Amino acid sequence: MVLQDLTQPEGIQHLLEVTGGTESFYNHPARAEGVRIVARNAIKNNPNMAYTKVRIVPNLPNAFYDFEKKEIILGLVNPDALAHELGHANNLRQEGLYQKVLKAANGVARINNMLALPVMLGLRTFIQDKDQRDDILKTLAAVSVAASAPGLLEEMTASAQAMKNSPDRMRAMGTLAPAFLAHAASSLAPTLIYQAGRM
C-alpha cells in the first residue's frame, strides 16, 4: 500500500485488522482517525508523499522508515509514530549527499556501539602511558560525537515535523520524547564509555 491508502476508510480498516489495534498508549484503535489526518496533512504539504510505500506488519509494536527501500514499516495504530516516520521519509526521499552522509555516519555509529567497551578496556590494559592513552580516548570520544551527530539531527528534525503535524501535540510529546531520549542515550553511549576510560 501507499500513504494515500491511509487517507481512505479501507486503508485504515486494513491497518486495524493487521495490527490488532490493541488498547494501549502506543497502539489504540481510537487513534485511527489521527492516522488518517496525519496521512492527509503530509500529502497536502507535499503531494509526492502520497506515493510513499507503507508496509503494515503484525506483531511489531513500532514503526520505522527503511531508507534503502524507501518505505515506512508500520506495526501500530499511532498517528505520532506515523508522523515521525513521515518526517524521515520527507527528509530522505531523494538521493543525495545528505542521505550518503547519514548512511555513513549511522554505519560508523553502529560499529562504534559494538566496539567502544572492548576498545576502551584494551587501551586501559595495553597502553600504560596515561597521557598517550588519554589522547587516544579523547580522540575516540570526539569521533563518536561526530558520528552520532547526523543521526541525532535527523531524529530531531523528524520529531519536530511530527510534532507540527500531529493532531494532539501533547500526546505526541509523550510518544516522541522518550523515544528520542532512548535514541540519544544509545548514540552517545560510546562517547561516555571513552570518557569513562580516561578516569
DSSP string, the chain: -BGGGGGSHHHHHHHHHHH---SSSSS-GGGHHHHHHHHHHHHHH-GGGGG-EEEE-TT---EEEETTTTEEEE-S--HHHHHHHHHHHHHHSS-SHHHHHHHHHHHHHHHHHHHHHHHHHHHHHH---HHHHHHHHHHHHHHHHHHHHHHHHHHHHHHHHHHHH-S-HHHHHHHHHHHHHHHHHHHHHHHHHHHHHT-
Q: How many domains does the chain have?
A: 2
Answer yes or no: do 69 and 106 share one domain. no
Contact between 75 and 59 under an 8 Å Cβ cutoff? The reply is yes
**Euclidean distance between CA atoms 39 and 161, whole angstroms:** 13
Domain end marker among 92, 125, 149: 92
Q: What is this structure's pTM?
A: 0.82
Task: Kindly state whether residues 16 and 35 are assigned to the same domain.
Answer: yes
- Sign of the dihedral through C-alpha 149, 152, 154, 160: negative
- What interhelical angle do 79-92 and 130-165 show, nearest 10? 110
Quick: pLDDT tens for 65-109: 998 888 999 999 999 999 999 999 988 776 678 888 888 888 888
Same domain, 83 and 101: no
Q: What pLDDT score does 97 carry?
A: 80
Whether residue 22 is predicted with pLDDT greater than 80 in this model: the reply is no
Q: What is the pLDDT of residues 36-65, one digit of tens each?
A: 999 999 999 889 999 999 999 988 888 999
pLDDT the model gives residue 95: 62
Q: Which residue has the cell 486494513?
A: 14
- 87 with 169, same domain? no
**Residues 134 and 45 placed together within one structural domain of the fold:** no
Strand ranges, E, within 70-142: 71-74
Out of 71, 92, 113, pick the residue that ends a domain.
92
Host domain of residue 147? 97-197
Reported as a pLDDT band with limits 50, 70 and 90, residue 123 is very high
CB-CB contact of 28 with 63 (8 Å): no
pLDDT digits 0-9 by tens, 143-198: 999 999 999 999 999 998 888 888 888 888 888 888 889 889 989 999 999 999 99
pLDDT confidence of residue 61: 85
**Pick from 48, 69, 92: which residue ends a domain?**
92
